[in-house]
Amino acid sequence: MSLLTAAGVSVSFGARTLFSEVNFRIEPGDKIGFVGANGTGKTTLLKLIIGELQPDTGGFSRTSGLRLGYLEQHTCADSDATAMEEALTVFSALSAMERQLDEINETLSAAPTSELLSRQAELNEQFTKNGGLTYKSRTRSALLGLGLREEELSLPTRALSGGQKSKIGLAKLLLCDPQLILLDEPTNHLDIPSVEWLENYLLSSPAAVLMISHDRYFLDKVTNKTFELKNERLYCDNGNYSRHIQLEKERQLSIEREYENTLKEIHRIEGIIEKQRTFSMERNYRTIDHKQKSIDRLKAGLVAPDKMLKSVHFEFTPDSDSGNDVLFAENLKMTFPDGKTLFDNVTLDIKRAEHVFLLGANGSGKTTLLRTLKSDDNVRLGARVTLGYFDQLQADLTPEKTVLSEVWDAYPHLYETTVRNALAAFLFFGDDVFKKIETLSGGERARVALCKLMLSGNNLLLLDEPTNHLDLRSREALEEALLGFGGTLIVVSHDRYFINRLATKILWLENGTLTEYKGNYDEFLLKRQPETPTQAVKKTMGAGGAEYHQRKKRQSAINKLKTEIKKTEAAIEKTDRELEALSKQLEDPEISADYDKVLSISKDLDDKKALADRLMTQWAELNEDLEAAEKEDERTE
């Protein structure tokens, strides 16, 4: 029996329809990823389910006595209660029972009676049956698993950060044992170890889960169904996020083909009608009438493809190439005034075109180290290196400025049309460019900062959590742009899908020490496991085990090939531009009259042509490898 069923649910705000005729069912044990662009109504749908909002049409039916948990129902208010005490309020009934048992035990030690002994036995049985022996240890485990430190458990909630309070709220929700859990961006404020703990918790939980998330790695690992709100409709697929994307592409391709074929048939019949009209005979009019009815039937059944959602599309293009040695640092150290050392004796040697990801638990010093790389005297930049920095807090944006002035003031030599075209690539159209920075959402502010970085033309980019606040389509656009970037990246991120697609090297910061791992995130996980590879897969991947790992391994290989293809294409384009420039030099009368210059340029042309041939051969081989890898992935799907 379904836990929850939605039938014909529609919601409008004024003249704008948010979504209409939404239908779905949630079965026991479902783990559903809920995706869609920002503003499509995902959070609104969750609030409809819990009854905080009412739909314009349709409604929901629930199984009798459904225990439903929603994170916002357990928000953690400021108080003198400690983090542990606040989380334990979920078990108030058990706490009360425990106090009763303490009182009975105290009374029994002074004056035992058969009535009290009977009551003690009854309470003990009930207490044990309801988890009284383990509720404190479960609470502590949940808080520590979500990333709170041991010493923070005894701090009053009023002294905690917003992120820490969110973790307490999430712990309370998970501990209250609901049958259906609704989560809105549960991985926000969580570092990678905490997200992995949450993944394993949800995979082992019998509860059904409906979760809004932009964390694609998390969605791929945990979910078995996917909902997407798009163009005012809800699409439901069996499978995780990657499977949903594949099915969506196939669905749209089929609709587009059917739409095009139907239009061709309509145009063909319209041509017949036009010819028939030229004959002016009675039987021709009967044919025209019959054909027109055919057209009407075709048009009535015509299904147009979904309109394309506006999405970010841009490129990072360095103004110049750096030397092979990009950044070198040794003996980097950060010590706080209280004497605590964040990191010590850190040495880095970054080469051109490397994609280096700096990972570690929250508080390990990742952002501090990244900032150190752009300002410390012990950091040396290589020849022709130009450095750009993306601040996750966007502290370099001026709140009072408009979007247009924020970007144009940074690049006053550009024409206004150039700046506005750049902003349009980041979805700032028309009057959007006159919005004040202080009025923008987190995602909009991030897009302004990325626009400024794109225009900088720097060949070394330091990025601190660049995917924070970006929706899925914007994250994917950023990935594609960085895959085609010809420069060097040093990135702090907890977006494991993003890391997996881009990383060539991972630096793990733990207890003040930096450890280097070659490869992407999946390879990093295997290398960090102390167990055998089989044990490591089971521990890391949870449900699905080796099958999940093999799927991720195949996808990782495909992503690597795509990355190499993009790099090769960028190199081909660069070589073509250089060949064109050299050819133009030979057309210059002054140069063509100088034998030595002609000889030198001709040699350069030959070298560039040879390089272009090698790159084209490499590109063809990579595409063949990619085609074979994708066929193998489809075969084993």
Q: pLDDT tens-digit profile of 559-569?
A: 778 878 878 88
Q: Name, in order, each residue with C-beta under 8 angstroms of 208's C-beta and a sequence gap of 6 or more.
A: 3, 26, 27, 28, 29, 30, 31, 32, 179, 180, 181
Q: pLDDT for 167-220, tens place per residue?
A: 898 899 889 889 999 999 888 778 888 888 899 989 999 999 999 999 999 999
pLDDT given at position 504 = 95
Q: What is the CATH number of domain 46-243?
A: 3.40.50.300
Q: What span, in angstroms and rounded, lies between the C-alpha atoms of 229 and 472?
A: 12
The predicted model gives 8-32 an average pLDDT of 94
> Crossing angle for the helix pair 135-145 and 192-204, nearest 10 degrees?
140
> What single letter denotes the amino acid at residue 7?
A
Domains 46-243 and 325-528 share a fold: yes
Distance CA 622, CA 626 (A): 6
- For residues 379 and 327, the answer to whether their CB atoms sit within 8 Å is yes
* Mean pLDDT value of segment 154-173: 85
CA distance 356 to 507: 7
pTM over 0.85: no
Write the single-letter amino acid at 160.
L
- CATH code of the region 325-528: 3.40.50.300
- pLDDT, one tens digit per residue, over 565-620 is 878 888 888 888 888 888 888 777 777 777 677 778 888 887 888 888 788 888 87
Locate tokens 């570092």: which residue?
Answer: 191
Residue of 573, 522, 578 lying closest to 551 (CA atoms): 522
Domain parsing of the chain, residue ranges: 46-243, 249-300, 325-528, 562-636
| Sequence-ordered alpha helix ranges (H) in 51-111 | 83-88, 92-110
Nearest to 357 by CA among 228, 462, 221: 462
| Residue 545 CB neighbours (<10 A) | 14
Q: Kindly calculate the radius of gyration of the chain based on its CA atoms and give it in whole angstroms.
A: 31
